[in-house]
Structure 1
């Protein structure tokens, strides 16, 4: 299923099939899916306890629980902190940051994101200085935490997808080093093998601790893990 199809998916509707008989919702969705991969994705979504929990608790995406579980281990979200969320659509991580008591929360994404009370959201490109400047206007001081759940659209070609993901991680890490307040933290999605040698060296030279976390909400079949860097050494930055 394409990323666009996933964004458009609204979940089970409970409608009857064309025969007029009540059918299992999972079978209805799978029947109308365009490919085997689409069917598998839809079935997985409808059987996922985190998806159901997100709907019940008002989070926009199951990814909210990844951040909650990472925070339970790493204690990233401090009450009164300032948070930047790179690649924030559909807004689950923004919701978590606001709910955890962040003083100021800003986010940016190429996709439009519905407003969230307590968050300043910009539709734009993190590579565009003007877009970044618009986002940073939502903060009165340097951020204490930079988050990134960015992921490139997959092509099906493993090496290409890996390189695209690496580029996003490098971009997020560079942003953190440029903007974080001294003592701040950074958390970013990475994939198989963890962070690259170059990114790991960048983080280790600029933070006091760097580790990888695989939260329970991250599916066991998924190659994603998250790198968490704490204790930004602002004074050593050029």
Structure 2
């Protein structure tokens, strides 16, 4: 079914939701590229992981809202982001357009960053295929890859923040985080839509490679 303007009913509902979303309006007023910027802001208000960070990796950077928050909060930090999608330049941020799952990606991220990260952010999610179980498995594979990168690369004391789904990371993933970080917490910030299945996990106090 299409509306009078040729949009599908689904796209019409999405458009109406965007137009009526206070976070979308606020993002436009504040100069952020997406409402997702406030998810990171609200998570930081709760867990305080941005202050003091010097080397930040942003996995799944597109369209750049999280990197904008990082730059505004800690302008002296070195920030490198990666995404399959093209991302318009952000002042002070190095952006790699490539697949994070490529073998060369981790080394290239670290080379561009100029040192080991003390904060790894991941807003990555797999493209959905419409089958909930498949979509969840594909996204969890990205979370696992992001965690493996964090464990391999983080400075001791560092933080890993990642989007997860279906109420949080699965038990095996949580166990792996707890082996490697001092604290592991799940949160759903107010900016995350109530109807969305996304949650976020915040793992702080990386214990170092000896914890593996």
TM-score for both structures, normalised by structure 1: 0.84
Q: CA deviation at 1:33?
A: 5.2
Q: Specify whether residues 163 and 74 from structure 1 end up closer, same or farther in structure 2 by C-alpha distance, changes over 3 A only.
A: same
Matched residues in 2 for 1:74 and 1:92: separation?
A: 19
Counterpart residue number, 1:99: 72
Q: Specify whether residues 33 and 216 from structure 1 end up closer, same or farther in structure 2 by C-alpha distance, changes over 3 A only.
A: farther
Structure 2 unaligned regions, length at least 5: none
- Alignment match of 1:232 (pick from 200, 206, 209): 206
Matched residues in 1 for 2:57 and 2:180: separation?
A: 18
Q: CA deviation at 1:158?
A: 1.1
Mapping 1:26-175, distance limit 5 Å: 31-32=4-5, 34-101=7-74, 102-175=76-149
Q: Retained in 2: the 8 A contact 1:121–1:135? A: no
Q: Deviations over 1:98-149 (max 9, x none)?
A: 1111511110000111111111110011112323333222222211110001
- Alignment match of 2:192 (pick from 218, 222, 226): 218
The answer to which structure, 1 or 2, has the higher relative contact order (CA under 8 A, 6+ apart) is: 2
Q: Retained in 2: the 8 A contact 1:104–1:138? A: no
Q: Deviations over 1:179-200 (max 9, x none)?
A: 1000000000011131011111
What's the secondary structure of 2:125's corresponding residue?
A: coil
Counterpart residue number, 1:203: 177
Matched residues in 1 for 2:53 and 2:59: separation?
A: 19
Aligned pair count reads 210
Counterpart residue number, 1:16: none
Matched residues in 1 for 2:171 and 2:6: separation?
A: 40
Q: Retained in 2: the 8 A contact 1:88–1:107? A: yes
Alignment RMSD (CA, Å): 1.6
Structure 1 unaligned regions, length at least 5: 1-29
Matched residues in 1 for 2:163 and 2:116: separation?
A: 22
Q: Greater Rg, structure 1 or structure 2?
A: 1
Q: CA deviation at 1:217?
A: 0.2
Q: CA deviation at 1:201?
A: 1.0
